């Protein structure tokens, strides 16, 4: 089966892409990330992938290549219970509307969205409503990192969106069975960049910890990607 091409928004250090690619059914074509430290990580692990530096300029100053899937965990700071609750129209979490703009320009087969579980009561209605206005139906669930073997809870909502009138069928039990648990041997990367690394006289430890804290857990993304693949294969067989 030909891999589904992926465009990643708010890529961070590539947790979404890594999880999807671990299924063997996805290929990353482009990424968008504004943070200089995260860009260095992406450049190391996806050297041949096109990168955009500013989502607000995508489709305005640069053409966006078509992809089968657009994924992204838009900023959660204005939605998270740890924040001020400014909401989905605030400066940072309001970047959802830029993600939606890119989706409308590209018209991918699928849209994968991630955010904190607080989105359920702080903007999910607007996310789903705006996707519906754009011609996409959606299904969603909260997946804690602990459910895929992590030593912390880290509950996150994942949304799978697809064109209306298209039925989604994913075998969750089978998808979970394909996910490697959090074992050292299951990770293809060495720690990068190392916490003790120094650049321009400053340790990268703070940047690294911040990037890891914002990252999507790859095993969770892998589960979502496997559900999507199982659904597409079921659809193709019918």
Instruction: Check: CB of residue 103 under 8 Å from CB of residue 71.
Output: no
Instruction: Check: CB of residue 88 under 8 Å from CB of residue 78.
Output: yes
Instruction: Decide: helix, strand or coil at residue 159.
Output: strand
Q: Would you call 142 a catalytic residue per the annotation? A: no
Residue with tokens 């039925």: 167
The helix (run of H) or strand (run of E) holding residue 36 is helix 36-45
- Which residues contact residue 125 at a Cβ distance below 8 angstroms, ignoring those fewer than 6 apart? none
**C-alpha triplet 212, 195, 39: angle, nearest 5°:** 55
Sequence-ordered strand ranges (E) for the chain: 4-9, 26-32, 50-52, 69-72, 110-116, 136-144, 155-163, 198-199, 202-203
Peptide linkage before 193 cis (omega within 30 of 0):
yes
Question: Catalytic one among 32, 71, 76, 220?
Answer: 76
Q: Which residues are catalytic?
A: 76
């Amino acid at each position: 089966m030909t891999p589904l091409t992926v465009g990643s928004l708010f890529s961070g250090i590539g947790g979404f892409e890594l999880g999807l690619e671990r299924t063997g059914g996805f290929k990353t074509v482009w990424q968008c990330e504004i943070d200089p430290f995260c860009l260095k990580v992406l450049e190391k692990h996806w050297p041949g992938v096109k990168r955009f530096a500013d989502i607000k300029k995508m489709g305005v100053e640069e053409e966006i290549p078509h992809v089968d899937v657009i994924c992204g965990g838009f900023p959660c700071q204005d939605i998270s219970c740890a924040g001020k609750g400014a909401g989905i129209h605030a400066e940072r979490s309001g970047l959802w509307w830029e993600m939606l703009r890119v989706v409308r320009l590209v018209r991918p087969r699928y849209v994968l969205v991630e955010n904190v579980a607080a989105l359920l009561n702080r903007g999910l209605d607007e996310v789903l409503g705006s996707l519906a206005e754009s011609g996409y139906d959606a299904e969603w669930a909260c997946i804690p990192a602990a459910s895929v073997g992590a030593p912390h809870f880290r509950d996150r909502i994942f949304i799978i969106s697809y064109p209306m009138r298209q039925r989604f069928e994913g075998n969750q039990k089978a998808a979970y069975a394909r996910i490697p648990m959090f074992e050292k041997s299951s990770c293809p990367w060495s720690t990068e960049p190392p916490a003790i690394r120094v650049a321009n006289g400053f340790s990268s430890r703070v940047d690294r910890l911040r990037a890891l804290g914002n990252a999507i857990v790859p095993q969770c993304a892998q589960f979502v990607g496997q559900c999507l693949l199982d659904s597409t294969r079921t659809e193709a067989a019918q």
